[in-house]
């Protein structure tokens, strides 16, 4: 979620420190750091990390499960295929302050109510995870990320003494994974549209309160209501909760007219106006051939994400009903000089198909992005338009012959 380029420069050096052999003093504490969402797509969902602070030993280290190596061979291809390894890194807390100063984000700290034995055990666990053979893991945005790794670690170390709160989201208020990320993507409408296109039906199920914790804000809320057993008594897991670094930067959404639904509506309106203005001219096929090629390329990408990647969230993508490679068949048919009854039937069938998708918009087992409506309407319109134009062109010779007889 959160990529700290400054920190990455130093994290490799800190990872080499012999932290695992270090015993913490009774004054040591471990806390959750929650970074507020930023104005860049990669910071949209915020970030989570653990801070280990021991004033008696001048130790102040942050353990971050959300880092990766930009220089890894095939980085972007691995990311697309869901095969990119993330890793646990450790670095000095002062780099959090440097990043906060640059990004002007809020940093919330929740200090855990742990006794010295529990604190040492969690610190040792983190250092074992920091070893070269353990620090890497296969990243999954929804189910295995910088936030989800933290309650997993707490449960592994503290066992039954840790009681994670899963009641902070009432059952009647639970949202789907898609709805959850859409809330955060509201200031990033194009990012929201792109993610809705790429992610399929698996994210349209309602998330459990535990699953909510893939988002750092909800992890913080879950821990705020959690309990820890101390000397046989259930006590609040969080001892103190405060904003330790305050930012001033506001996330401002772009103007309404630059958002996808308006831009695609403008595209639809442009094709409609062009059809009206050129209705008496010889029809041109190349604009639709270009348009349908773009739809086909999008469909190829969606098929790749479904069948050639390990991203479970990109499987079963019903956007393929309208954005699919079969539009290339239409491109070939339009490129042919002779367009017979088969071509007309194919165009007419597709036109009704895309009107049917609009009519059944809420019945598809996946939540479509509203900005896709003008794109599907555009498909229906252009298929009907080309069917009509071919009919007109084929009728002209017969009319001329009748007039001269």
The per-residue pLDDT for range 85-105, each reduced to its tens digit, is: 889 999 999 999 998 888 888
Residue 7 has pLDDT above 50, yes or no: no
Q: What is the pLDDT of residues 160-178, one digit of tens each?
A: 999 999 998 887 889 999 9
- Quote the Cα angle for 145-147-153, to 5°: 95
For the entire predicted model, the pTM comes to 0.87
Tell me the torsion sign for CA atoms 302, 308, 311, 316: positive
Nearest to 298 by CA among 375, 377, 382: 375
Confidence at 182, pLDDT banded by 50, 70, 90: very high
pLDDT tens digits for range 153-162: 999 999 999 9
> Rounded to whole angstroms, how far apart are CA atoms 227 and 271?
60
What does the pLDDT read at residue 304? 94
DSSP state letters, 312-370: GGGSS-GGGGTS-TTHHHHHHHHHSS---HHHHHHHHHHHHHHHHHHHTTTTSSS---T
Q: Is the pLDDT of residue 404 over 50?
A: no
Residue with tokens 């789907």: 176
Share of the chain above pLDDT 70, in %: 88
> Which residues, 6+ apart, have CB-to-CB distance to 170 below 8 Å?
none
């Amino acid at each position: 979620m959160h990529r700290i380029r400054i920190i990455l420069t130093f994290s490799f050096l800190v990872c080499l420190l012999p932290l695992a052999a270090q015993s913490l003093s009774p004054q040591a504490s471990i806390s959750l750091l929650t970074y507020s969402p930023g104005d860049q797509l990669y910071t949209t969902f915020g970030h989570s990390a653990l801070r280990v602070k021991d004033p008696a030993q001048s130790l102040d280290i942050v353990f971050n499960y959300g880092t990766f190596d930009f220089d890894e061979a095939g980085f972007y291809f691995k990311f697309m295929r869901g095969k990119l390894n993330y890793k646990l890194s450790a670095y000095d807390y002062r780099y959090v302050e440097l990043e906060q100063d640059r990004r002007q984000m809020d940093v919330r700290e929740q200090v855990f109510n742990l006794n010295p034995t529990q604190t040492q055990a969690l610190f040792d666990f983190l250092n074992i995870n920091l070893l070269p053979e353990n620090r890497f893991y296969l990243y999954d945005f929804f189910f295995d990320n910088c936030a989800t790794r933290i309650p997993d670690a707490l449960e592994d170390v503290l066992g039954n003494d840790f009681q994670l709160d899963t009641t902070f989201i009432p059952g009647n208020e639970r949202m789907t994974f898609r709805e959850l990320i859409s809330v955060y993507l509201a200031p990033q409408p194009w990012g929201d549209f792109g993610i809705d296109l790429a992610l399929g039906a698996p994210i349209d199920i309602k998330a459990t309160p535990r699953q909510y914790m893939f988002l750092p804000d909800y992890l913080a809320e879950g821990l705020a209501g959690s309990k820890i057993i101390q000397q046989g008594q259930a006590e609040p897991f969080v001892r103190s909760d405060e904003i330790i670094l305050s930012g001033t930067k506001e996330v401002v959404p772009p103007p309404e007219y630059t958002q996808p639904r308006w831009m695609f509506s403008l595209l639809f309106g442009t094709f409609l106006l062009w059809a009206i203005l050129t209705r008496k001219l010889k029809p041109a096929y190349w604009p639709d051939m270009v348009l349908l090629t773009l739809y086909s390329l999008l469909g190829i990408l969606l098929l790749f994400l479904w069948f050639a990647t390990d991203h479970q969230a990109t499987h079963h993508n019903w956007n393929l009903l309208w954005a699919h490679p079969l539009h290339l068949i239409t491109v070939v048919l339009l490129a042919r000089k002779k367009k017979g009854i088969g071509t007309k039937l194919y165009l007419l069938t597709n036109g009704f198909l895309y009107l049917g998708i609009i009519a059944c918009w809420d019945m598809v087992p996946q939540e479509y992005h509203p900005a896709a409506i003008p794109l599907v309407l555009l498909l229906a319109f252009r298929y009907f338009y080309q069917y009509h134009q071919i009919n007109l062109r084929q009728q002209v010779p017969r009319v001329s012959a009748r007039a001269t007889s």
